[in-house]
Amino acid sequence: MVGNIAVTEKLSELIVNSRPEADPQVMAAARSGVLDYLTSTIAGGKDQEGNSLLELFSSDTYNPNLVKVIGINRYADFQHAALLNGYLGHVLDYDDVHSSSRGHPSTVILPALFAISKTKNVSALDFLAAYVIGVETMCRLGLAIGASHYESGWHNTATLGAIAATAACVRLLNLNSDAVNCALGLAAAQSSGLRAQFGSDGKPLQAGLAARTAVFTSMLTAKGFEAASNGLDGKTGFFAAYGSDKTIVSNLTKDWGNPWQIVDPGLWFKSYPCCSASHHAIDAVFALISEHQLHELENDQIANIEAIFPPGGDTALVVTNPQNGIEGKFSLEYVIATALIDGKVGIKQFSKQNIEPRVKTLMNRINRRYDEKIEPLSIAIPPGRFTIVTITLKNGATYSKRVDRPHGAAGDPLTIKELHRKFLDADTDGHFAHVPDLVSEMETHEDLVRLITSL
């Protein structure tokens, strides 16, 4: 309870009555989020032939009751379109992250919104506003429930995402606050997802299931199904079960929209489709290339490369000797070598293709080292992290670069131009070249339908 008002009720009022569409900066941030989600999803849809999830729950035959699976020629019912578009958005781990939520908001919220957008005569601006409300809900759930939720094994993307995406959907469907209150409780009662699935296909599946929960719950509530009100409150509600004694329930609604979480601290859009723990090193290599004209180097001029981390700073980079691009996503050695040789770290660099011999040769000259004496900067993202890359040439020359916060992270976001370039890199065959402009400009219901039907 917050004062005498249950927090679920208070949240419902905010979901129904907030007007983020009035703020151009907020709407611009939402358009960037939509574009970046579509980038990740279109990239994720490549090479999915034979995936049992797609085979079971989608079809290559269109009928008007089905919704498009983004980026591939398949269709699914409302619920499973949300599931599959959530799965594909997260399958490469290329989608946005928000620090307040300790998870990936857009790959849960947007697939749910896309699935239900044709059912109502809503405008593209309504769609963007509902998305902002969803991100705000997810971030505030994260700020309320605290770090212990993630630490206990929960996968915030899925657990908090299910409730947040439901908030977005009921907002888009224009339900009243009593119905929203009930929908939030039902979504909380379906909240699930465990970090035990990290490193497996279960991880993106959990994002998709959370999106499905939102579609199921909002459809059911819109049809008049009634359930308990105030399902986040009390001794048998969401925070009691999923929280800890460090949970601060009032954070759910305190300073709501002031500023909007999608703007400040904002979504982190990834620059590279690989483990975020490797992004510092990649940024360092590109800085060295540009500052010292290293692209003119011949491969065999490099004597060795050293990467220095704080102790544990490379824990996620578990692969030292990858055999193909997919394994390379979690390899420091691969991303450094391929950045130097290709001058690019994009979708193509992480395909199923075997790694070229000249990349392997360079990988063998890379070493990792840990230095607990170097202080991380206060701007470091994640906190306490940095990477220093030092390249030594056979002629004795040495070039070194330190990165504490990769480009794209909060405080140093990707520019619109960079987001467009990222999209073009993912849209390898140019099928979706119209999408960036449409996302930047869409306003009406017709614009929204044009976007959805062209994905």
Binding site for a second copy (CB under 8 A): 52-53, 55-56, 152-155, 158, 185-186, 188-202, 205-206, 209, 219-220, 223-228, 230-231, 233-238, 240-241
Q: Inter-axis angle of helices 124-145 and 106-116, to 10 degrees?
A: 140
Q: How far is the CB of 63 from a second copy (least distance, A)?
A: 14
Q: Which is nearer to a second copy, 196 or 379 (CB)?
A: 196
The residues facing 391 across adjacent strands are: 305, 399
Q: How far is the CB of 200 from a second copy (least distance, A)?
A: 4
Q: How far is the CB of 155 from a second copy (least distance, A)?
A: 8
Q: How far is the CB of 451 from a second copy (least distance, A)?
A: 26
Phi, psi (deg, nearest 5) at residue 91: -65, -30
Q: Which is nearer to a second copy, 55 or 441 (CB)?
A: 55
How far is residue 319's CA from residue 346's CA, in Å, rounded to a whole number?
A: 18
Q: Which is nearer to a second copy, 198 or 370 (CB)?
A: 198
How far is residue 171's CA from residue 296's CA, in Å, rounded to a whole number?
A: 54
Q: Which is nearer to a second copy, 241 or 379 (CB)?
A: 241
The CA–CA distances, whole Å, from 80 to 68, 145, 164 equal 10, 29, 18
Q: Which is nearer to a second copy, 186 or 285 (CB)?
A: 186
Q: Which is nearer to a second copy, 77 or 306 (CB)?
A: 77
Q: Are strands 74-76 and 67-69 parallel, antiparallel or unpaired?
A: antiparallel
Q: How far is the CB of 153 from a second copy (least distance, A)?
A: 4
Contact 115, 208 (CB under 8 A): no
Q: Which is nearer to a second copy, 46 or 203 (CB)?
A: 203
Q: How far is the CB of 330 from a second copy (least distance, A)?
A: 16
Q: How far is the CB of 223 from a second copy (least distance, A)?
A: 4
Q: How far is the CB of 52 from a second copy (least distance, A)?
A: 4
**Residue found by looking up tokens 């800085």 in the block:** 287
Q: How far is the CB of 424 from a second copy (least distance, A)?
A: 32
Q: Which is nearer to a second copy, 169 or 285 (CB)?
A: 169
Q: Which is nearer to a second copy, 26 or 162 (CB)?
A: 162
